[in-house]
């Protein structure tokens, strides 16, 4: 995940081909039983529907790779799509599973580790990948699993965010220890904390999480938004300007409270 600094390119090229790293949710299948998966997934999506909307998902098959367990990919893909997710690939599967996934036009992602033969799937529900590659956050389909953690994707910025710069934390919180200049934009799927003056735009909960908040030391923002509910500078009360505040949603209304 890199800081996204948008800049006009000086040369006129049609495209650039680049490698990039993304943090994606990982759906780790622990049982091949699609009915069980379906029921628990429905429950999970109900808790945070916005989190899953249009979210690319990788299916992890490591726990099922040992036996010759068949996975009903057409059903699984349909299920995920039905909840708004975009399944893009699998990893850690055995040969026949990979072939089946390939038939569903899922990408087969390389996995550094050889599939382990024995895995205690009931006790170890959450497991973070040790590889720095595509996956850091784990969504586990299991009744006992804790809620998907967000700290894995949090970003911290120590230098000022200048006019024309854009910093985006696609997963988790965004912490800025310096100022955000007028004409700059900071976005996060989670909360935003600004410990300098906030003079630019701040958008928290950009993936729809309505519980997210913006915290800042000195509110002079051009625009603040939580989960798409925004307020422009003109509509921020003078009494709140220059103050340390928190901004959050309450019944569809954006509340600005002094801290």
Partner 1 sequence: MTRIIVVTSGKGGVGKTTTSAAVAMGLAQRGHRTVVIDFDVGLRNIDLIMGCERRVVYDFINVINGEANINQAMIRDKRCNDLYILPTSQTKDKEALTRKGVGKVLDELSESFDYIVCDSPAGIEHGAKMAMYFADDAIVVTNPEVSSVRDSDRMLGILASKSRRAENNQEPIKEYLLLTRYCPQRVKQGEMLHVDDVQEILSLHLLGVIPESRSVLSASNAGKPVILDEKSDAGDAYADVVERYLGQELPHRFLEVQRKGLLGRLFGG
Residues that bind partner 1 (CB under 8 A): 5, 7-8, 10, 159-165, 178-179, 181-184, 196-197, 199
CB of 158 to partner 1, least distance (A): 11
The answer to whether the Cα torsion of 58, 64, 67, 69 is positive or negative is negative
CB of 212 to partner 1, least distance (A): 25
Whichever of 89 and 164 has its CB closer to partner 1, that residue is: 164
Whichever of 89 and 196 has its CB closer to partner 1, that residue is: 196
DSSP string, 186-225: EEESS-EEEEEEE-SEEEE-TTS-TT--EEEEEE--SEEE
CB of 134 to partner 1, least distance (A): 23
CB of 157 to partner 1, least distance (A): 11
Residue 132 is classified by DSSP as: S
Residues β-bridged to residue 24: 135
CB of 184 to partner 1, least distance (A): 7
Residues 6+ apart with CB under 8 A from 67: none
Distance CA 223, CA 183 (A): 10
Do 140 and 28 contact (CB within 8 A), yes or no? yes
Residue 130 is classified by DSSP as: S
Do 106 and 59 contact (CB within 8 A), yes or no? yes
Whichever of 149 and 164 has its CB closer to partner 1, that residue is: 164
Whichever of 143 and 156 has its CB closer to partner 1, that residue is: 156
Whichever of 29 and 184 has its CB closer to partner 1, that residue is: 184
């Amino acid at each position: 995940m890199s800081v996204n600094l948008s800049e006009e390119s000086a040369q006129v090229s049609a495209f650039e081909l680049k490698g990039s790293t993304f943090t994606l949710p990982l759906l780790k299948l622990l049982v091949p039983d699609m009915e069980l998966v379906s029921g628990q997934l429905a429950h999970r999506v109900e808790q945070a529907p916005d989190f899953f909307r249009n979210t690319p998902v990788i299916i992890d098959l490591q726990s099922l790779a040992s036996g010759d367990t068949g996975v009903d990919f057409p059903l699984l893909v349909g299920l995920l799509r039905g909840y708004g997710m975009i399944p893009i690939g699998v990893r850690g599967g055995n040969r026949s599973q990979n072939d089946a996934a390939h038939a569903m036009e899922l990408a087969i992602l390389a996995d550094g580790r050889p599939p382990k033969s024995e895995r205690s799937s009931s006790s170890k529900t959450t497991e973070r990948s040790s590889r720095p590659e595509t996956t850091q956050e784990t969504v586990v389909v299991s009744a006992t699993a804790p809620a998907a953690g967000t700290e894995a994707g949090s970003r911290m910025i120590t230098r000022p965010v200048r006019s024309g710069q854009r910093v985006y934390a696609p997963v988790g919180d965004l912490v800025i220890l310096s100022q955000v200049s007028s004409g700059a934009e900071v976005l996060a799927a989670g909360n935003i904390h600004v410990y300098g003056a906030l003079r630019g735009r701040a958008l928290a909960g950009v993936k729809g999480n309505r519980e997210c908040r913006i915290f800042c030391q000195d509110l002079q923002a051009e625009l603040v938004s939580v989960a798409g509910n925004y307020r422009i500078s003109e509509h921020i009360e003078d009494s709140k300007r220059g103050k340390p505040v928190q901004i959050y949603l309450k019944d569809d209304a954006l509340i600005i409270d002094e801290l």
